[in-house]
């Protein structure tokens, strides 16, 4: 689509403010918050003491001593526990700040038609304060699609007006209200992970094998070992030195092989109309070496793709694996 508008208010949002706010966040997450400037946004995971990932989200630096952190699930208890003894305040902002995402190639054009300030110079993972008429909003150049996009942060009382305004001003530019099923396809195309689908929070994993480290989720780039101690650092240092057992990869499911399996039972190939979220085994010969966690037919790539956990020995680009497939009551 040319522009998609969706409600991301259900994200959990916490304001961390005070003299120790930066020091606390730098200890909690794996990114180096010390280099995050006012108006900058950082995507980051955070881990338990064993280096297993709890959640992932963004940290926005609103001022020198004020930050907003977003997460997919409630993290207030974890934040409060780890902030004990520090000079800061913690506010659950989840129900007082609303957020809308506008994504797609025409998103900037639409926002420039609405806002009092141009977004032309707003860089990726930065934010700005502006207004939609008399309504104050913050706009961050962030999103969950891999396309040009922005997220708009505002008081909850203004959210409906802002939604209607964007839908009205966006009509000439092809704006479309969008739900989670469309977003799911876009984030798989972009290779973006989803909590409780592509990985399980270490706080909720029943068995150890369900837990993953940032390195095992393709997020090693977001683990900054040169900064001072952070939660899980010692374990992650050891993992970095020895290498991870698992890698997180994108897989391309071969269309000709898929057609052949369906042809053998006299059926045309079936493709999911929406993204699927079921664990699907991957094999090398008779050995299971991984599992796909989510996949879809990509309307952009015109390919059947998926995201998967694969043992590191089999995760090199170009490796060929077998994907378990059920066709007419039979597994292939």
Region 213-235 average pLDDT: 98
Percent of the chain with pLDDT over 90: 93
Using the CB atoms, write b or e for 37-55: b if 16+ within 10 Å.
Answer: eebbbbbbbbbbeebbbbb
β-strand pairing of 175-177 with 3-7:
parallel
Of residues 8 and 327, more confidently modeled: 8
Binned at pLDDT 50, 70 and 90, residue 270 comes out as: confident
Q: How many CB atoms lie within 10 A of CB 210?
A: 13
Q: Which pLDDT score is estimated for 327?
A: 86
Which of these, 145, 174, 170, 165, lies nearest to 8 by C-alpha position?
145
Which run of H or E residues covers position 239? Answer: helix 233-242
Nearest C-alpha neighbor of 217 from the set 232, 190, 195: 195
Structure tokens at 230: 């952070």
**Which comes out higher in pLDDT, residue 330 or 150?**
150
Q: What is the pTM of this model?
A: 0.95
Does the domain formed by 237-331 have CATH 1.10.3720.10?
no
Q: What is the mean pLDDT of the chain?
A: 97
84-93 per-position pLDDT tens digit: 999 999 999 9
Indicate the CATH number for domain 3-187: 3.30.1360.120
Cα distances from 135 to residues 111, 114, 115, 153, 155, in angstroms, run 14, 11, 10, 11, 9
| pLDDT for position 100 | 99
The encoded tokens of residue 49 equal 């003491």
What pLDDT score was predicted for residue 121? 98
Residue 23 has pLDDT above 90, yes or no: yes
Q: Which residues of 172-203 are buried (b: 16+ CB within 10 A; e: fewer)?
A: ebebeebeeebbbbbbbbeebbbbebbbbbbe
Confidence of residue 34 (pLDDT cuts 50, 70, 90): very high
Q: State pLDDT tens for residues 44-53.
A: 999 999 999 9
- Model confidence at 61: pLDDT above 90: yes
Instruction: Tell which residue, 16, 111, 103, has the closest CA to residue 58.
Output: 16
CATH 2.40.30.110 region(s) of the chain? 237-331
Contact 187, 194 (CB under 8 A): yes
Q: Which segments of the chain belong to CATH 3.30.1360.120?
A: 3-187
290 and 280 Cβ atoms separated by less than 8 Å: no
Nearest Cα neighbor of 48 from 212, 162, 180 is 212
8 A C-beta contact, residue 101 and residue 140? no
pLDDT (mean) for 25-39:
98
pLDDT at 331: 76
The confidence band for 160, taking pLDDT boundaries of 50, 70 and 90, is very high
Q: How does residue 328 score in pLDDT terms, banded at 50, 70 and 90?
A: confident
pLDDT score, position 211: 98
Does the pLDDT at position 332 exceed 90?
no
Query: In the prediction, which pLDDT does 116 show?
Result: 87
What CA–CA distances, in Å, run from 181 to 123, 151, 188, 194, 274? 28, 18, 11, 13, 6
Average pLDDT over every residue of 130-138: 97
């Amino acid at each position: 689509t040319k522009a998609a508008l969706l409600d991301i208010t259900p994200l959990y949002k916490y304001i961390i403010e005070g003299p120790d706010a930066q020091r606390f966040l730098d200890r909690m997450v794996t990114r180096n918050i010390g280099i995050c400037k006012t108006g900058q946004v950082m995507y980051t995971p955070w881990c338990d003491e064993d280096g297993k990932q709890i959640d992932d989200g963004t940290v926005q630096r609103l001022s020198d001593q004020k930050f907003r952190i977003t997460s997919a699930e409630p993290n207030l208890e974890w934040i409060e526990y780890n902030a004990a003894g520090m000079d800061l305040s913690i506010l659950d902002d989840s129900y007082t700040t609303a957020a809308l995402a506008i994504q797609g190639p025409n998103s900037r054009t639409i926002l420039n038609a609405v806002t009092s300030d141009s977004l032309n110079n707003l860089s990726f993972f930065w934010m700005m304060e502006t207004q939609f008429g008399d309504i104050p909003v913050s706009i961050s150049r962030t999103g969950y699609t891999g396309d040009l996009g922005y997220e708009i942060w505002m008081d909850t009382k203004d959210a409906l007006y802002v939604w209607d305004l964007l839908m009205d001003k966006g009509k000439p530019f092809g704006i479309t209200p969008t739900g989670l099923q469309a977003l799911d396809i876009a984030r798989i195309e972009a290779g973006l992970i989803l909590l409780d689908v592509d990985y399980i929070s270490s706080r909720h994993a029943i068995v150890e094998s369900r837990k993953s480290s940032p390195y095992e989720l393709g997020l090693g780039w977001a683990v900054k070992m040169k900064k001072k101690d952070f939660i899980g650092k010692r374990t992650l240092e050891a993992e970095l030195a020895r290498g991870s057992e698992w890698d997180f990869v994108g897989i391309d499911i071969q269309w000709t092989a898929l057609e052949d399996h369906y042809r053998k039972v006299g059926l045309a190939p079936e493709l999911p109309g929406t993204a699927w979220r079921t664990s699907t085994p991957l094999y090398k010969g008779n050995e299971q070496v991984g599992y796909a966690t989510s996949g879809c037919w990509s309307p952009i790539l015109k390919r059947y793709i998926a995201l998967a956990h694969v043992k590191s020995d089999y995760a090199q680009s170009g490796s060929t694996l077998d994907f378990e497939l059920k066709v007419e009551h039979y597994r292939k």
